[in-house]
Structure 1
Amino acid sequence: MEKLQLSTFENNTARTEQDYVGEVQIPAGKLYGVNTVRGFENLSVSPLSVAHYPEFRNAFAQCKRAAALANLDCGVLGKKVCDAIVQACRDVQSGVCDDSLIVDLLEGSGGTSTNMNFNEVIANRAQQILGSAAGSYEVVHPNDHVNISQSTNDVYPTAMKVATYAMMGPLIREVEELARQFDQKAHEFADILHLGRTCLQDAQPMRLGQLFSGYASLAHRLAAELAAVREKLLTLPLGGTAIGTGFGAPPAYRAHAFKHLKMITGVEYLAPSNPFDAMQNMDVFSRISGELRTCSASLAKIAVDLTKLSSGPVAGLGELKLPEAQAGSSIMPGKVNPVLPMSMIQLSFAVIGNDTAVAQAVQYGELEINHFEPVVASRVFDSITLLKEGIQRFREKCVKGITADKARNKQHLTESMAVATALVPTLGYAQVSKLARQSVAEGRSLLTILDESGILSREDAMAAIDKASYPVFEN
Structure 2
Amino acid sequence: MSTFDRLDVRVEQDYVGTVQIPADKLYGVNSVRGFDNLSISPLTVAHYPAFRDAFAQCKWVAALANLDSGVLAATQCEAIVSACREVIAGHCDDSLIVDLLEGSGGTSTNMNFNEVIANRAQQFLGHAPGAYESVHPNDHVNISQSTNDVYPAALKIATYAMLGGLIAEVEKLALQFDAKAGQFADILHLGRTCLQDAQPMRLGQLFSGYASLTHRLAVELATVRDKLRTLPLGGTAIGTGFGAPAAYRKAVYRHLGVITGVDYQAPDNAFDAMQNMDVFSRVSGELRTCSASLAKIATDLTKLSSGPVGGIGELKLPEAQAGSSIMPGKVNPVLPMAMIQLSFAVIGNDVAVAQAAQAGELEINHFEPVVASRVFDSITLLTRGIQRFREKCVAGIQADEARNLAHLTDSMAVATALVPELGYAKVSKLARQSVQEGRTLLAIMEESGVMTRAEAMTAIEKASHPVFEA
TM-score, normalised to structure 1's length?
Answer: 0.98
Displacement after TM superposition at 1:270 (Å): 0.4
Alignment partner of 1:236 out of 208, 231, 236: 231
Displacement after TM superposition at 1:73 (Å): 0.2
Aligned to 2:88: 93
CA distance in 2, matches of 1:194, 1:27: 68
| Structure 1 position 425 matched with structure 2 position 392 | no
Aligned to 2:40: 45
Aligned to 2:169: 174
Aligned to 2:188: 193
Aligned to 1:13: 10
1:23-81 Cα deviation digits (max 9, x unpaired): 11101210000000000000000000000000000000000000000000000000001
Q: Relative to structure 1, is the Cα distance of residues 250 and 293 closer, same or farther in structure 2, using a 3 angstrom cutoff?
A: same
Of residues 445-454 and 296-305 in structure 1, the stretch that sits farther from structure 2 once superposed is: 445-454
Alignment partner of 1:203 out of 195, 198, 207: 198
CA distance in 2, matches of 1:132, 1:72: 21
Aligned to 2:265: 270
Aligned to 1:283: 278
CA distance in 2, matches of 1:256, 1:9: 44
Question: 2:321, 2:331 within 8 Å by CA — same for their partners in 1?
Answer: yes
Question: 2:66, 2:248 within 8 Å by CA — same for their partners in 1?
Answer: yes
Which structure 2 residues correspond to residues 430-469 of structure 1 after superposition, within 5 A?
430-469=425-464
Question: 2:9, 2:21 within 8 Å by CA — same for their partners in 1?
Answer: no
Secondary structure of the corresponding residue to residue 15 of structure 1: strand
CA distance in 1, matches of 2:24, 2:327: 54
CA distance in 2, matches of 1:344, 1:237: 35
| Structure 1 position 331 matched with structure 2 position 331 | no
Question: 2:8, 2:22 within 8 Å by CA — same for their partners in 1?
Answer: no
Aligned to 2:141: 146
Give the aligned length.
468
Displacement after TM superposition at 1:8 (Å): 6.9
Alignment partner of 2:125 out of 130, 153, 173: 130
AA in 2 matched with 1:199: C
Structure 2, unaligned runs of 5 or more? none
1:201-220 Cα deviation digits (max 9, x unpaired): 00000000000000000000
AA in 2 matched with 1:246: G
Q: Relative to structure 1, is the Cα distance of residues 10 and 375 closer, same or farther in structure 2, using a 3 angstrom cutoff?
A: farther
Secondary structure of the corresponding residue to residue 26 of structure 1: strand
AA in 2 matched with 1:48: L
Q: Relative to structure 1, is the Cα distance of residues 330 and 368 closer, same or farther in structure 2, using a 3 angstrom cutoff?
A: same
Displacement after TM superposition at 1:13 (Å): 3.4
Question: 2:10, 2:23 within 8 Å by CA — same for their partners in 1?
Answer: no
CA distance in 2, matches of 1:36, 1:123: 13
CA distance in 2, matches of 1:190, 1:206: 10
Q: Relative to structure 1, is the Cα distance of residues 125 and 462 closer, same or farther in structure 2, using a 3 angstrom cutoff?
A: same
Percent identity over paired residues:
78
Which structure 2 residues correspond to residues 70-81 of structure 1 after superposition, within 5 A?
70-81=65-76
Aligned to 1:3: none
TM-score, normalised to structure 2's length?
Answer: 0.99
AA in 1 matched with 2:13: T
Aligned to 2:114: 119
User: What is the RMSD of the two structures over their aligned residues, measured on CA atoms?
Assistant: 1.0
Question: 1:7, 1:28 within 8 Å by CA — same for their partners in 2?
Answer: no
CA distance in 2, matches of 1:467, 1:13: 82
Alignment partner of 1:364 out of 348, 359, 362: 359
CA distance in 2, matches of 1:413, 1:27: 72
Displacement after TM superposition at 1:20 (Å): 2.4
CA distance in 2, matches of 1:52, 1:331: 39
Secondary structure of the corresponding residue to residue 52 of structure 1: coil
CA distance in 2, matches of 1:227, 1:15: 46
| Structure 1 position 102 matched with structure 2 position 101 | no
Structure 1, unaligned runs of 5 or more? 1-5
Question: 1:300, 1:341 within 8 Å by CA — same for their partners in 2?
Answer: yes
Aligned to 2:397: 402
AA in 1 matched with 2:154: A
Alignment partner of 1:341 out of 336, 340, 348: 336
Q: Relative to structure 1, is the Cα distance of residues 121 and 459 closer, same or farther in structure 2, using a 3 angstrom cutoff?
A: same
CA distance in 2, matches of 1:369, 1:8: 43
